[in-house]
């Protein structure tokens, strides 16, 4: 047997051995899937909380802007134009909240603006208000106790 033929046969045997061991075993794949599942179980709730906080910020910014516009309306008209179902200026629209405005005490000299979370945007159970005296309240917040609170909460566990 010549040297070249010997090398060719040995090389063929080595590649045949490696071909039988190529790829991943079932155990290795199961471990990889388990690691991905654990990471997802940690990441998804964190991401959901982050999205909810950003939507809450949008709602309270819209309420604050509505209050400012109502104060400008009051300067021009000496009333808020508020009735049982609306105020002197149109309520803004928010992606994850329904924002409404009406009279807070039965006259056009007061108002109460409310942002209520939409269930379709995963914000059910959240509600925030502001009135003519700039009293900001959280009236509904999942996971928070002793409501209403005289501030706007951004996350459960916050305090005023």
Question: Each residue's pLDDT tens digit in the chain (160 positions)?
Answer: 555 555 555 555 555 555 556 788 999 999 999 999 999 999 999 999 899 999 999 999 999 999 999 999 999 999 999 888 889 999 999 999 999 999 877 788 999 999 999 999 999 999 999 999 999 999 999 988 889 999 999 988 888 8
Rounded to two decimals, what is the model's pTM?
0.76
Helical (H) or strand (E) element with 63: helix 26-77
Cβ-contact 74, 134 below 8 angstroms? no
Q: Which residues of 38-77 are buried (b: 16+ CB within 10 A; e: fewer)?
A: eeeeeeeeeeeeeebeebbebbbebbeebbebbeebbeee
DSSP state of 128: E
Phi, psi of 141 (to 5 degrees): -160, 115
Domain 23-140 sits in which CATH superfamily?
Answer: Glycoprotein, Type 4 Pilin (3.30.700.10)
């Amino acid at each position: 047997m010549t040297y070249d033929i010997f090398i060719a046969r040995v090389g063929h045997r080595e590649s045949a051995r490696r071909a039988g061991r190529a790829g991943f075993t079932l155990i290795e794949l199961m471990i990889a899937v388990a690691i991905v599942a654990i990471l997802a179980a940690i990441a998804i709730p964190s991401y959901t909380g982050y999205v909810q906080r950003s939507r809450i910020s949008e709602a309270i910014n819209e309420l604050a802007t509505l209050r400012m516009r109502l104060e400008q309306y009051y300067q021009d008209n000496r009333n808020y134009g508020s009735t049982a179902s609306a105020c002197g200026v149109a309520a803004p629209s928010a992606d994850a909240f329904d924002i409404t405005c009406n009279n807070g005490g039965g006259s056009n000299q007061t108002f109460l603006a409310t942002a209520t979370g939409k269930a379709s945007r995963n914000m059910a159970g959240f509600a925030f208000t502001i009135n003519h005296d700039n009293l900001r309240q959280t009236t509904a917040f999942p996971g928070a106790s002793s409501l209403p609170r005289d501030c706007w909460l951004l996350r459960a566990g916050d305090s005023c």
